[in-house]
Structure 1
Amino acid sequence: MTDTNDDVDLVLRTMARTIVDNAEEFAQLDAVAGDGDFGFSLRNGFEVVGSDLDSFDHTSVGALLKKVGFVIAGKVGGVSGPIWGTAFMRAAATAGERTSLTGPELIEVLRASITGISQRGQAELGDKTLLDALVPAVDSLEASITEGFDDGGVAAVQKAADVAVSAAEATLGMLAKRGRAAYTGERSRASVDAGATAIGVILQDISAAWRDSRQGAGQ
């Protein structure tokens, strides 16, 4: 599914652009129950990723993801830096020296990221964090890969993105158990989780970019 570093670049570049473009919206969501710095903190790191991506080590998928992880951990403040940085570092370690990823290998990389996020943030499903959107999205993608497809993964990625959006919307009414929002108690039920929402927005943009790249290449 992800055959070359070009595909990884596409995902990273789209992710960076989406985070930068939506930083204010993400921060406003975070401000309802958190400290309101989520979107701006992420933007600090992903601006660098977006602008410097071409200069990063592209000798392997692992090397590229490792560099992104270093940038995020170093540039993103608050709790987001360690958590998102860990996600990329765990992904990098799992991808290793591979220069391409099969569908099942991609799922392994994503699962490693999830484990890193869970361990670093001491969070699990139902705690009202980004995991509540990311895990269902990866589950969806894995199911699509297992079933197989002949469209370059276009429908599979879109389905995963749609699942993430629905899961993020479902965090409305949930009690936050991790992060700054947890300190607000019952008030945290009044809004969707900013991190989960960000995952949905990011995956929708990745899906659109993936579709365009496949159609342009004739799949």
Structure 2
Amino acid sequence: MNGTELVVRTIAETAIANEKYFGDLDSVVGDGDFGYSLARGFEKLLDGWADLDRTNAGSFLKRCGMTIASRIGGTSGPIWGTAFLRAGAAAGEPLDRARVAAMLRAAIDGIKARGQSDVGDKTLLDALVPFTDSLEKSGDLATAARAAREAAEATSAMVAKRGRAAYTGERSRGSVDAGAMAVAVIAERISDVWQPEVTGS
């Protein structure tokens, strides 16, 4: 299994393993279906794992994105699917630190456009952007995962401006964003399974 496949499989397995946790976080100010939707979508991805296009990293990620977009319910499907599609479009060789950062930036831009959101709106971007910034700077996944965790926890002080949680206004303050925490948990798991640093320039 190459690096790209390892990362995607880790994302899928982590989403499935944390279904209840992510759902519980979402139920505080959302409709509580985030964990369920994410888990079912990634289960479908793993069900068809053997048949995914592995011509190159870009093709693989795009196929994953299309599967995720069609299988994850609610607003999460288009958002997560777009992230994979955009990352796939930016993929190339060598898969060094600069390339990985470019793929993450492309995913971030796609999420911003699709969700009409930005950093500070209390969404997964509030953890994904700090994660990307840290990884681009240090090349160390553990350091980047810590940045994602700290940023996700900091969303508890924010008022949601996007998604169902936005309807709750001030009531959304005091709880972390489920999407941001999902990014942090996934980043930590990827850091655990990918021991070497992402190197290159």
Q: TM-score, normalised by structure 2?
A: 0.94
- Deviation, 1:11, is 0.5
Q: Confirm or deny that 1:84 pairs with 2:80.
A: yes
Cα deviation, residue 168, structure 1: 0.3
Q: Deviations over 1:15-36 (max 9, x none)?
A: 1110000011101100100111
Alignment partner of 1:17 out of 13, 19, 24: 13
- SS of aligned partner of 1:190: coil
Task: Tell me the distance in 1 between the aligned counterparts of 2:3 and 2:89.
Answer: 18
Distance in 2 (alpha carbons) for counterparts of 1:181 and 1:57? 36
Match of 2:163 in 1: 179
**Kept after mapping to 2: 8 A contact 1:59/1:99:** no
Structure with higher Rg: it is: 1
Any residues of structure 2 matched to 1:27-46 within 5 Å, and which?
A: 27-46=23-42
2: CA distance between counterparts of 1:99 and 1:41?
33
Structure 2 counterpart of 1:199, from 175, 183, 199: 183
The CA deviation at 1:190 is: 2.2
> Is 2:96 the partner of 1:112?
no
Q: Distance in 1 between matches of 2:24 and 2:179?
A: 12
The reply to whether residue 50 of structure 1 matches residue 34 of structure 2 is no
Question: 2:125, 2:141 → 1: CA distance?
Answer: 17
Aligned length: 197
Query: Does 1:124 pair with 2:113?
Result: no
> Given that residues 61 and 100 in structure 1 are in contact (C-alpha distance below 8 angstroms), is that contact kept between their aligned partners in structure 2?
no
In 2, are the aligned partners of 1:127 and 1:176 still within 8 Å (CA)? yes
Instruction: Give the structure, 1 or 2, with the largest relative contact order (CA under 8 Å, sep 6 or more).
Output: 1
Residue ranges of structure 2 left out of the alignment (5+ in a row): none
Distance 1:8 1:54 in 2: 14
Partner residue in 2 for 1:163: 147
CA distance in 1, matches of 2:116, 2:107: 14
Mean CA deviation greater in 194-203 or 86-95: 86-95
Q: Kindly state the Cα deviation for residue 52 of structure 1 after the two structures are TM-superposed.
A: 2.6
- Residue of structure 2 in register with 1:61 after alignment: 57
TM-score (norm 1): 0.87
User: Which whole-Å CA distance do the structure 2 matches of 1:142 and 1:51 have between them?
Assistant: 33
Over residues 30-82 of structure 1, what are the superposed CA-to-partner deviations in whole Å (9 max), with x where a residue is unaligned? 01001111111111111122333232111111100011001111100100001
Distance 1:8 1:181 in 2: 32
2: CA distance, partners of 1:131 / 1:168: 9
Identity of aligned residues (%): 54
Structure 1 segments of 4+ aligned residues over 4 angstroms from their partners: none
